[in-house]
Amino acid sequence: MPIALHYKENKQNFSKLLYILLSLCLFYGWYKNGLSYVFLGRMSFSSACLLLIYPLVSLFINILYNKISKKKWYHELYEGLFLSLIIPPNTPYLLFILLTLGYFFMKKIRLKTPVSRLLLFKVCLGVFCLLFSISYENQIESSVPYFYDVIDLFFGRAVGNFGTTSILLLFLIYLLFASDFYYKKELPIYTIVSFGICAFFYSAIIKDFSFLSAFLNSHVWVAAIFFVPENKYSPAIGPYKNIYAILIGILSFIFMYLLNIPDGAYYAVFILELLWLFLSKILIFKK
C-alpha cells in the first residue's frame, strides 16, 4: 500500500471517492489545457485529445505492472493516474514514459529510497524541466499574454501541473484524506499557513499586495497535501511534526518567490525528508 496517497483497500467508499476526485482533476486539467481553447477556437479538438496521452500511458504502464506482478489489472490504478496529474502540460511524451517506467520499475524491484517514490518522480521531472527549459505554461499560455485573478486560481484556471491546479478539488481531496485516522492532517495546514504568512509579509514589504495569489499557488497545496504528511518519511511526534511542516512552508516560499524556482515546494519537501531521515537516525542512536 503506497503511503503517499493514504489509501486503504478495505475502505471501498474511501477508494471510490479518491478515484472520483482524481478523475475530476484529470477532466478539469483536460478542459483547462485543451477543451477550453477548443471552444474559443484557439486549438483543434485533435490537439486537445493528444493531452489524454499522458493518463492513457501512465494507466497502461500501471496495468502492465499489475499484470507482471500477478495482481488484478485494476489494482491501485490511482498511482498511474496521479503521475499524469502532476506533470507540466507540455512535458515531452518520451520523458514522461521513461520516468513512469522508472517509477514502476523501482516499485517492482522494491528499491528502497530515502524519499518517497512519488516525490522522487516529481523531483526528477522538475530537474529535467530545468535542464530542457520546460515551463508549466500550456500551449496557449506560452504563446499569448494571460492574466488569472484570485477566482481563477481558486477554481484552477492557473499555470501549474496538468491536473492539480484547482484549489477547490485539492481541498476536497484533503478533506477525504483527513478522514483517515493515520493521515497527519495538521501538517498540510502548518505548511500552507507558514507559506502564506511568508507571502503576506513579502507582499507588504514590496507593496504589490499579491498575497492571495501567492497563497493559492497550487504547487504548494499539492506538496502539502500529498507529500508532506507521508507517514514513512515525516516525523510522528508533535513538536517535530509541526517544525517539519513549518520549515517546508518557509523553504518553499524562499525557493519559489525569492529564487524563482517553480518546483520549489517539491524541492523543499525533498530536502526536509532527507534532513529528517538523517536527524531521526541520530535521535534513535541517542536512545
Q: What does the alpha-carbon distance between residue 165 and residue 233 come to, in Å, rounded to a whole number? A: 25
The predicted model gives 186-197 an average pLDDT of: 96
**Are the C-beta atoms of residues 127 and 235 closer than 8 Å to each other?**
no
| One-character DSSP codes across 135-167 | -S--TTTTTS-----HHHHHHT-SSSSSS---H
Query: What span, in angstroms and rounded, lies between the C-alpha atoms of 43 and 50?
Result: 11
Q: Mean pLDDT, to the nearest integer, of 198-221?
A: 88
Residue 284 is predicted with a pLDDT of 58
Mean pLDDT of 11-22: 89
Number of CB atoms found within 10 A of residue 208's CB? 11
- Give the whole-angstrom CA distance, residue 274 versus residue 280: 10
Q: What is the pLDDT of residue 12?
A: 78
What does R_g of the chain's alpha carbons equal in angstroms?
Answer: 19
Rounded Cα distance, 170 and 221, in Å: 7
160-185 pLDDT, tens digit each:
999 999 999 999 999 999 998 889 99
3 has a pLDDT exceeding 50: no
Of the CA atoms within 13 Å of residue 268, those in its CB half-sphere come to: 30
pTM tops 0.85, yes or no: yes
> pLDDT tens digit string along 83-121?
999 999 999 999 999 999 999 999 999 888 889 999 999
Q: Which three cell numbers stand for residue 207?
A: 507593496
pLDDT band at 9 (very low <50, low <70, confident <90, very high): very low
pLDDT band at 209 (very low <50, low <70, confident <90, very high): low
Output the CA torsion 192→197→202→207 (10° steps).
110
Res 143 pLDDT > 70: yes
**pLDDT cut 70: percent of the chain above it:** 94
- pLDDT tens profile 212-231: 888 999 999 999 999 999 98
**In the predicted model, is pLDDT for residue 243 greater than 90?**
yes
CA distance 100 to 58: 7
For residues 276 and 268, the answer to whether their CB atoms sit within 8 Å is no
Residue 244's contacts (CB-CB under 8 Å, 6 or more residues apart) are 187, 228, 234, 235, 272, 276
pLDDT at residue 137 is higher than 80: yes
- Which band of pLDDT confidence, cut at 50, 70 and 90, is reported for residue 265? very high
